[in-house]
Amino acid sequence: MSGSNIIPWVVGNWKMNPMQADAQQLIQDLKQLLQDAPITEQQCHIGVAPISIALLSVKQSLQNVSPAVKVVAQDVSQMAGTGAYTGEVSAELLKDSQIDYVLVGHSERREIFGDDVTKIKAKISNALNAHLHIIYCVGESLEQREAGQAEQIVLQQICDLAAVVKPEQWHNIVIAYEPIWAIGTGKTASPQDAQAMHAKIREGLTQITTEGQRTAILYGGSVKPENAVELAACPDINGALVGGASLNAESFYKIAQAFAKTE
Ligand code: 13P
């Protein structure tokens, strides 16, 4: 069964970019594009994930944009609440600043910063318990794909998620499938390969939760305006998590247009 009735999400993960002036320019350009040719919330949820110190200024700059552009944190602490945890930002502190969305489990966090399954589960629980929506990232490495383990790895990552999500919290979850070998490399998974994995993820979700057919599953990994239309045509690809191409307002907007449902 396809998930094609799902409203797509297109989220720009700015990663450790850009400088303030460039971020403000990017926002102004995006606002202009959305003003000239709006994309409604029924067509596509649009979000941007700036660095943590820019979350509030970006939110402020976007405050009168209609339809709303969601502001997404790139990470959250494994520690909950407040306390003596130097350098950390908890889910409760994000919520307190009206930041309602967060990425969890991005492969760069897993690979470079040691976010193991225990930490990721704590982050998921804390975020959901603080009533944040999460975009949970999964994906296999090139080595794992070549060893024929891609599906097993990704489904295990879905099981890790399922281990901590309460039944009533599933509606606050979006999944992003990002094969690690496609991130920042210019190599995209073919629409067929991506669709096949998304279908497997949906099958897995459907066995776990009644929300399985309603959960948006985004693709990430070198998404560009040039490949977005083909990816968007796949029934189980419900949007994109965009890195590099989200740093250019026009590219990002075109990707959102490619995924936006026609009304
Ligand atoms: P790129 O679009 O730059 O490949 O990055 C994808 C990504 O990691 C988004 O989270």
Give domain limits for the chain: 9-260
Q: How far is CA 42 from CA 184, 194, 231, 261, in A?
A: 30, 24, 19, 8
**Does ligand 1 lie within 6 Å of residue 222's CB atom?**
yes
Q: Is 61 annotated as a binding residue?
A: no
Q: Is 212 annotated as a binding residue?
A: no
Does the pLDDT at position 181 exceed 90?
Answer: yes
pLDDT digit string, tens, across residues 250-261: 999 999 999 999
Quote the percentage of the chain above a pLDDT of 90. 93
pLDDT digit string, tens, across residues 215-224: 999 999 999 9
Of residues 92, 108, 140, 178, which has the active-site annotation?
A: 178
**Ligand 1 center to residue 252 CA distance, Å?**
12
Work out which ligand 1 atom sits closest to the CA atom of 137: 10
Distance CA 239, CA 216 (A): 7
**Ligand 1 center to residue 82 CA distance, Å?**
31
**Does ligand 1 lie within 6 Å of residue 12's CB atom?**
no
**Ligand 1 center to residue 241 CA distance, Å?**
7
Say if residue 112 is exposed, middle or buried (CB neighbours under 10 Å; 0-12, 13-18, 19+): exposed
Report the CATH fold assignment for 9-260.
TIM Barrel (3.20.20)
The single residue listed with the structure tokens 């850009």 is 18
Quote the pLDDT of residue 5. 87
**Does ligand 1 lie within 6 Å of residue 242's CB atom?**
yes
Quote the pLDDT of residue 186. 84
pLDDT digit string, tens, across residues 8-66: 999 999 999 999 999 999 999 999 999 999 999 999 999 999 999 999 999 999 998 98
Respond yes or no: is residue 178 known to be catalytic.
yes
Residue from 172, 147, 149, 175 nearest 160 by CA: 175
Quote the pLDDT of residue 183. 92
Quote the pLDDT of residue 1. 37
The single residue listed with the structure tokens 């995006």 is 30
Kindly state the average pLDDT of the residues 198-212: 97
pLDDT digit string, tens, across residues 84-105: 999 999 999 999 999 999 999 9
**Does ligand 1 lie within 6 Å of residue 13's CB atom?**
yes
**Does ligand 1 lie within 6 Å of residue 8's CB atom?**
no
**Does ligand 1 lie within 6 Å of residue 243's CB atom?**
yes
Quote the pLDDT of residue 3. 46
pTM given for the model: 0.97
Work out which ligand 1 atom sits closest to the CA atom of 224: 2
Q: Is 5 annotated as a binding residue?
A: no
Answer for the pair 61, 71: CB distance below 8 angstroms, yes or no: no
Quote the pLDDT of residue 187. 83
Average pLDDT of every residue of the chain: 96
User: From atom 1 of ligand 1, which residue's Cα is the shortest distance away?
Assistant: 243
Q: Is 243 annotated as a binding residue?
A: yes
Q: How far is CA 66 from CA 23, 45, 145, 222, in A?
A: 19, 12, 41, 28
Of residues 106, 108, 140, 198, which has the active-site annotation?
A: 106
Q: Chain centroid to CA 35: how far? A: 24
HSE toward the beta carbon, residue 259, CA cutoff 13 A: 33
